[in-house]
Amino acid sequence: MTEGVPQQEREAAVEPAAGGGRGRSSEATRAAILRAARVRFAADGYDRATIRAIAADARIDPSMVMRYYGSKEGLFAAAAEFDLRLPDLSDVPTDRLGEALVSYFFTRWEGDATLPALLRTASTNPSGAERVRAIFATQLGTAVARMIADPTEAPRRAGLVASQLLGVALTRYVLRLPPMVDISPAELIAWLSPTIQRYLRAPIPG
Amino acid sequence: MTEGVPQQEREAAVEPAAGGGRGRSSEATRAAILRAARVRFAADGYDRATIRAIAADARIDPSMVMRYYGSKEGLFAAAAEFDLRLPDLSDVPTDRLGEALVSYFFTRWEGDATLPALLRTASTNPSGAERVRAIFATQLGTAVARMIADPTEAPRRAGLVASQLLGVALTRYVLRLPPMVDISPAELIAWLSPTIQRYLRAPIPG
DNA sequence: ACCGTATGCCAACGAGTGTTGACTTGCCAG
DNA sequence: CTGGCAAGTCAACACTCGTTGGCATACGGT
């Protein structure tokens, strides 16, 4: 009763015959494993997501996971390849950067369970936490740096932005606090935009 | 190399002889177990914190944990007994409620590792998540209800407040994003107070 | 002195984990 | 047709986990 994913209906549709020339379909199984791994890691986190369960979802033997990805850590590393895909916001008026960033993050997350997976894992797994640190330092940090005048303020402002956005992801997708689940994305965007806007552009308080 | 707590120096000082009348010191061991459990759960989360490790920290046999707390779930339930201890803010001017709440949460968290433990656990353990939901629905929800005019808005506003405050706890104490770790509590309070103030008191946007 | 009882330890069980190696199957080149 | 090779299966190993029951020990009351 602690399962995150129903046991039935695993890997419904598979590619009939992947393109390539030689070698039957090793790339297809590789992809199937990765897909199943993403779902399981997302639902259960690193520790509770077992290789056996992932293999069962992908309808292959657990040993194939080892053959293709070396170890559970290796599989997770491949599954958690994560690109925020932050768009270019250079033509957004500076007083609407907050709204643009919040709106984008929502369109990105509502259909992709990778971020909750990352949060779930990073909470208990040191290498998962390191990965989140790297993602936000490089991707969000550099994006924020382009939005502000003094680049030395970028890390601090990016940290504040992350604290609010990850807080929403945590309460809405992971903890599932009812008020945060029930609220509509539009209303949430309206509430959050001024916050992010201030973290990005307001003068440093003191 | 995945250990959260160094193996040495476990349970340094123990009460020489707890007060009571009969029965040597069962209450002392009970407390020692609970203390060690809090540390381990805080550092490692529910899954990675093993009963054997907790028992070793408390310098007793794993079976004693079962005797006193029935099961690992029971131990966690006892260890995660969590009271936000929100103070009475009824005499705070309404335009400084945000600052008061943020300041309080900081004095509460900086010396107490229970909240990170709860977050770490709730991320992967369903009953842990349920506990967080209950805590914030009852404790924070009712506190917020007393701060606003229309009580029907309380859950939504409390959810928003939780998203920011838990986001800070997550990024500062669990993920340890460098910018959020390095920033001083005073500066963090200055940044966060307007956010919380708005979530508490601003008219609903639309 | 004795005994009941609470306190604690020890060894073990059963289940589940990641991981490994040897075996079987089916395809394509020669 | 035949040999080689990649894809996949199977059973098992070594380990750790939560949990259990039996056994030792030392206290307090009588």
In this complex, the residue of A45, A119, A191 whose CB is nearest that of residue B160 is: A191
Residue B97 three-state SS? helix
Q: Nearest CA to B90 among B167, B142, B41?
A: B142
CB-based contact A118:A139 (threshold 8 Å): no
User: Cβ B119–A124 below 8 Å, yes or no?
Assistant: no
Alpha-carbon distances, residue B34 vs B10, B12, B25, B78, B189 (angstroms): 14, 15, 15, 8, 32
B62 is written with which tokens? 């794993």
Chain B interface disruption, residue of A1, A48, A156, A175, most B CBs within 10 A: A175
Q: Please tell me whether any atom of strand C lies within 7 Å of the Cβ of B52.
A: no
Confidence of residue A203 (pLDDT cuts 50, 70, 90): very high
Q: Write b or e for each residue in A105-141: b if 16 or more Cβ atoms lie within 10 A of its Cβ, otherwise e.
A: bbeebeeebbbbbbbbbbbbbeebbebbbebbbebbb
| CA of A9, C1' of C27: distance in angstroms | 30
Separation between Cα atoms, residue B157 and residue B205, nearest integer Å? 12
CB-based contact A128:A41 (threshold 8 Å): no
Q: How far is B126 from chain A (nearest CA, A)?
A: 7
- Residues of chain A with Cβ-Cβ distance to B164 below 8 Å are 163-164, 167, 195
Nucleotide D6: closest residue by CA–C1': A23
CB-based contact A187:B171 (threshold 8 Å): no
User: Cβ B162–A172 below 8 Å, yes or no?
Assistant: no
User: Cβ B171–A187 below 8 Å, yes or no?
Assistant: no
- Residues of chain B with Cβ-Cβ distance to A158 below 8 Å are 179
CB-based contact A177:B162 (threshold 8 Å): yes
A96 is written with which tokens? 């609407």
B90 is written with which tokens? 């009824």
**Going from the N-terminus, what domains does chain A have, and what CATH number goes with each?**
1-79 (1.10.10.60), 94-201 (no CATH)
Q: How far is B33 from chain A (nearest CA, A)?
A: 22
B94 is written with which tokens? 């309404």
CB-based contact A54:A36 (threshold 8 Å): yes
Q: Residue A90 — φ and ψ, nearest 5°? A: -70, -20
Q: Nearest CA to A150 among A88, A206, A201?
A: A201
Query: Tokens 């690992």 belong to which residue?
Result: B72
Of A109-113, A189-193, B129-133, which one has max mean pLDDT? A189-193
Alpha-carbon distances, residue A197 vs A19, A158, A173, B107 (angstroms): 47, 11, 23, 27
- Residues of chain B with Cβ-Cβ distance to A191 below 8 Å are 160, 199, 205
Nucleotide lying nearest to B26, CA to C1' measure: C7
Using CA coordinates, name the residue in chain B closest to A138.
B177
Interhelix angle B62-69/B26-48, rounded to 10 degrees, is 100
CB-based contact B4:B46 (threshold 8 Å): no
Chain A interface disruption, residue of B5, B105, B124, most A CBs within 10 A: B124
Interacting residues of B192 by C-beta distance below 8 A, sequence separation 6+: B98, B102, B164, B165, B168
A117 is written with which tokens? 């997976």
Alpha-carbon distances, residue B201 vs B2, B11, B44, B139, B144 (angstroms): 44, 46, 37, 18, 10
Separation between Cα atoms, residue A104 and residue B13, nearest integer Å? 53
In this complex, the residue of B124, B164, B176 whose CB is nearest that of residue A47 is: B124
User: Cβ A164–B163 below 8 Å, yes or no?
Assistant: yes
User: Cβ A183–B156 below 8 Å, yes or no?
Assistant: yes
| Mean pLDDT for all residues in chain A | 87
CB-based contact A52:A61 (threshold 8 Å): no
Separation between Cα atoms, residue B141 and residue B101, nearest integer Å? 13
User: Cβ B163–A156 below 8 Å, yes or no?
Assistant: no
**Choice among A60-64, A108-112, B2-6, B181-185 with the minimum mean pLDDT:** B2-6
Max Cα distance, chain A (Å): 66
One digit per residue, pLDDT tens: chain B, 206 residues? 334 444 334 444 333 333 333 345 788 999 999 999 999 998 888 999 999 999 999 999 999 999 999 999 999 999 988 888 899 999 999 999 999 999 999 999 988 888 888 899 898 888 889 999 999 889 999 999 999 999 999 999 999 999 999 999 999 999 999 999 999 999 999 999 999 999 999 999 97
Planar angle of CA B174, A77, B121, nearest 5 degrees: 30
Distance linking the first and last C-alpha atoms of chain A: 50
Q: List pLDDT tens digits, range A151-189.
A: 999 999 999 999 999 999 999 999 999 999 999 999 999
Show which positions of strand D are touched by protein (CB under 7 A): 6-11, 16-22, 27-29
pLDDT of the residue at A82: 82
CB-based contact A60:A32 (threshold 8 Å): yes
pLDDT of the residue at B18: 37
User: Cβ B183–A136 below 8 Å, yes or no?
Assistant: no
Query: Tokens 């040495």 belong to which residue?
Result: B8
Q: Is the pLDDT of residue A1 over 90?
A: no
pLDDT of the residue at B1: 39
Nucleotide lying nearest to B58, CA to C1' measure: C8
